[in-house]
Amino acid sequence: MAKFDEKARPFSEKWLDERLAVNTLKRVLSTEYWIPKDINFLWAMGMVLAATFGLLLISGIFLLMYYKPDVNMAFDSVNYTIMSEVGFGWLWRHIHGVAASVVFLIIYIHMFTGIYYGSYKKGRELIWISGMLLFVTFSAEAFSGYMLPWGQMSYWAGMVITNLFSGGSLEAYGLVEWIRGDYVPGDAFLTRFFMLHVLLLPLVIIGLIVLHFGTLRIPHVNNQEGAEIDFEEAAELYKAGKKKESKVIPFNPVFLSKDVFVMGVYFILFFYLVFYHFEFAMDPVNFDPADGLKTPPHIYPEWYFLWSYEILRPFPKDPGLIAFGIAQVALFMLPFIDRSPNVAPAHKRGLFFVWFWVFLIDMIVLTVLGKLPPEGIFNTLGAVAAVIFLLLGPALIVITKLEKKL
């Protein structure tokens, strides 16, 4: 048995350290977790995401106290009880709705920052893959949450998305009914998605956040120039007081103070949206109660799913489903599709720089077109944008194979 200092007072630092190794944890995860100096504010998006997830959890717990997961009461519990009868219920709903939408904007900024600076390259593949798993799980969490107000768009979006599991001409309607728990979305459907939203998926997200931070520990965070850093040597310089010569800084308190500053600016903008422009996060069609006999004229998902929805929409049923599936998997494969040995920002990588901007602009075009009705010129433009998206994968292989070593 380990030796303990009998003079240590209960719950003092020494007492806790002897039992929980708190000083070792503090050193490994905080004061001696080294971050490159050469990074900008975009590297703070991870902490902004974690803080926004915290807001979603807290506001979700308050909403959970009054929400009724029953098709006869869900709509009223959200739109009347929480919004009108509960003190500051409207504020918690606005925080939850705005955070659910803004979290995807932060995810996309975080993702495109990683692509631009090559933060998925050799040695950092698991950072990218765990990040993509987080993206997929956040998407499932958002979709399950969208069902809960039980408005018109909740019902019909649930109907359309679950129909995708029929597999087109495979006609696997048994699987669709198994997911819904009925022939059409009803009470079983709502309670299943309620359980997923408030319990199972948040637990998975917390586990994946831990995994994502864990994958960062050994390869360390990338930097703006993609420079190779000897972290042990740079850390020794910092600890020896040669802070100017060292290329790294400790996570706590130096880098964390930068994160806190960025989060301060972010939360000013966030609460501005919560108080003055919360409407963008709440579809007006969803303020009508769910009605299985009245189809809305135009069914569409939330803005963060529109790009993948638009890839599905222009094609016939089976090719559309295949294109949709490829779009979901392709981003996972990015570390293996990019064959270039260079870990460098896109503006130093020739054709990759062009590829990056075509990719970003195409995603924005797909998102805009996904919200518009599928008719006339919009249909043609959507098909062109979807084909460009599908060709970007093979194009990346060719471009990065031809890329010269820097």
Centre a 10 Å sphere on the Cβ of residue 174 and count the other Cβ atoms it contains.
Answer: 9
Alpha-carbon separation of residue 35 from 62, 222, 223 (angstroms): 36, 9, 9
Q: pLDDT band at 106, cuts 50/70/90?
A: very high
The answer on pLDDT for 218 being more than 90 is: no
Mean pLDDT in residue range 252-270: 95
The rounded mean pLDDT for the chain is 93
Average pLDDT score over residue span 101-108: 97
Q: Tell me what the mean pLDDT of segment 252-259 comes to.
A: 92
Rounded mean pLDDT of 49-59? 96
Q: How far apart are CA 138 and CA 149, in angstroms?
A: 18
- Of 98-112, 197-211, 351-365, 368-382, the least confident: 368-382
State the pTM of this model: 0.93
- Of 67-71, 79-83, 159-163, the one with minimum mean pLDDT is 159-163
Which phi and psi angles does 339 have, rounded to 5°?
A: -95, 0
Q: What pLDDT shows up at residue 404?
A: 87
Phi-psi region of 234 (alpha: psi -120 to 50; beta: other; left: phi over 0): alpha
What confidence score (pLDDT) does residue 122 get? 82
pLDDT attached to residue 406 = 78
Query: Rounded to 5 degrees, what are φ and ψ at 249?
Result: -135, 155
Reading the block at residue 48, the tokens are 């902004």
**pLDDT (tens digit, 9 = 90+) per residue, 274-321?**
999 999 888 889 999 999 999 988 888 899 999 999 998 888 888 989
Cα–Cα dist 335/126, whole Å: 9
Residues in the chain: 406
| Number of helices and strands in the chain (H, E) | 17, 2
* Predicted pLDDT of residue 11: 92
pLDDT tens-digit profile of 151-207? 999 999 999 999 989 988 888 999 999 999 999 999 999 999 999 999 999 999 999
Q: Per-residue b/e over 247-265, b at no fewer than 16 CB within 10 Å?
A: bbbbbbeebbebbeebbee
Q: What pLDDT shows up at residue 85?
A: 96
Distance between CA atoms of 189 and 181, rounded to whole angstroms? 6
Amino acid 24 reads T
Integer angstrom CA distances of residue 231 from 16, 236, 246, 259 = 30, 9, 9, 21
Determine phi and psi for 195, rounding to 5 degrees.
-60, -45
Q: What is the pLDDT of residue 94?
A: 97
- Contact by Cβ (8 Å): 286, 154: yes
**Residue matched to tokens 């009925």:** 182
If you average pLDDT over residues 4-15, what whole number do you get? 89
pLDDT of residue 1: 65
Confidence of residue 347 (pLDDT cuts 50, 70, 90): very high
